[in-house]
Amino acid sequence: MILVARLCGLILLLLSGLALAETPPERRVALVIGNSSYHNAPALPNTVNDARDMVVALRKVGFEVVDGIDLDKRGMDAALTRFARLAQDADAAMFYFAGHGFQFNGENYLVPVEAKIEDEVGVQYETTRLNDVVTALNYAKGVKIMVLDACRNNPFVGLLAKRQATRGFSVGSGLAPVQRAQGMVIAYATQANDVAADGAGRNSPFTAALVREIDQPGLEVATLFRRVQKSVYDTTAGRQTPELSLSLLGDFYLNREETDADVWRRIRASDDSAALQAFIQRYPQSFFVIDARTRLDLLERRSSVSSERDKLVREFAERERALLQRLERAEQGRRQAADELARTDTGGAVGVPLPVPAPGSAPVAAAPAQPAPRTQDKAERARLADELARRESELAAIETEKQRLADERQAVEQALAARLGAPGALSPNRSTQPIALPGAAPRPVEVAPGAASRGRTSGECAELLMRAQLGELTPAGREQLRQCR
């Protein structure tokens, strides 16, 4: 009993260990800030839209997002503190900022909405250091991503530049390059020391492209930002080129959903019309939509031919059953006519045996001889012979009809097989041999010399072409497809 209890305890301990060893779900966190309504500078028209659209895009791909709109210094510090706590041991952490930012003495600063930056003191105490953001990102154990759409035309730069002659500091347009760390991706809206465009639409050119690409599943992060670079370059006619700094040892995907290629690989050989229709609706612009429609057409053709085949199977079965019944009746009538004619030829009377005398009694006199059987009337015999001949002629006609029905069924089978692109449309075992009727030897299928080498029917060729498009063609099928050319 003690041994059983110990074994149960050991099993429970192992199960608990296995449960604890299960891989937890991936944790993704992000901080998104969009500052627009600056108190001491012109408002930025679309940074709020940029931030809100980025929040939606990131939550859609599994990020827990801390977001802030028009934050002052205290609000930015609070948001950054909350984000740093969430980022601890996270598998991925991302920071996005849209608003004013600038470089001062080679260091980058992000500007809260109420900041009044007139000198070096204002830079130090009224802005948020980008290095503090890097520190928060480094709490994550996995990939760190920093996206800066903050290289706008900043009015504080000009004010600080006026003081450069009397104070020992330097100020420049745009942001300075950030020293990258292992496992970090840094994306700038434009190149270092350059100014990014606000954009005339809802979003800046950079954020518009980024939101659009995040929505595309299966893009590795480096590929995603390269596509953003090209989109911004094309949109601005070459005036703005985003810059990417990447230091990753492996691949990372912002959007982990299946791509159209992934889904198509899974369902390409499926006979589920609903799955194919759902693929077409989900990926209307996919390159594989043509293949999906081809597959649907193939399934519809198969379904149509299958229904027609089932109907013909029932019809032929009924005709064969009626033919069998006629054959049985005709055979029974022929046997009956043959028996009657045979009895007429041999005579119907049979001799009666003499009785055996009892012991001691007188011998029994022999019975008088029976008269010879009367010969059947010639007319009756002729009638029976005619009936037998009629029955045999009826049987021969039924045999001919049976063969005609077999030939008709074989022709229909071959026609349906050509439409299906496979032999034997009616037979359950997909054979071109018709179902033989009882009492009839199977007739071999005759193939005209050279028939296999001649061109195939249009139905067969269409089927083979569809299979070739779907990658389902066997070597034998490829040889058959050559005959269609």
pLDDT digits (tens, 9 = 90+) for 294-307: 888 888 877 777 77
Residue 410 lies in a domain: no
DSSP string, 361-424: SPPPPPPPPPPPPPPPPHHHHHHHHHHHHHHHHHHHHHHHHHHHHHHHHHHHHHHHHHHHTSS-
d(CA 150, CA 128): 13
For residue 463, being part of any structural domain is answered with no
Decide if 307 is inside a domain: no
- Which residue, among 438, 411, 437, has the nearest Cα to 425 in the 3D structure? 411
Taking only the tens place, the pLDDT of each residue in 171-220 is 555 677 777 677 899 999 887 666 666 666 789 999 999 999 999 888 89
d(CA 172, CA 157) in angstroms, rounded, equals 7
Note whether 164 and 100 are within 8 A (CB): no
228 or 310, which is more confident? 228
Of the candidate ranges 14-23, 43-52, 92-101, the one whose mean pLDDT is the lowest: 14-23
The mean pLDDT of 65-91, rounded to a whole number, is 96
In a domain, 343, yes or no: no
Strand partners, 94: 30, 145
- The answer to whether position 485 is within a domain reads no
Q: Can you give the CATH number for the domain in which 124 is found?
A: 3.40.50.1460
Domain with 109 in it: 24-247
Asked whether residue 423 is domain-assigned, the answer is no
In a domain, 100, yes or no: yes
pLDDT beyond 60 at 49: yes
Q: What is the pLDDT of residue 34?
A: 96
Q: Is residue 165 one of the residues assigned to a domain?
A: yes
Q: Which residues lie below 8 Å from residue 26, measured CB to CB, with a gap of 6+?
A: 62, 91, 92
Give how far Cα 4 sits from Cα of 1, 20, 153, 198, 454, Å. Answer: 5, 24, 77, 73, 77
Q: What is the total count of domains within the chain?
A: 1
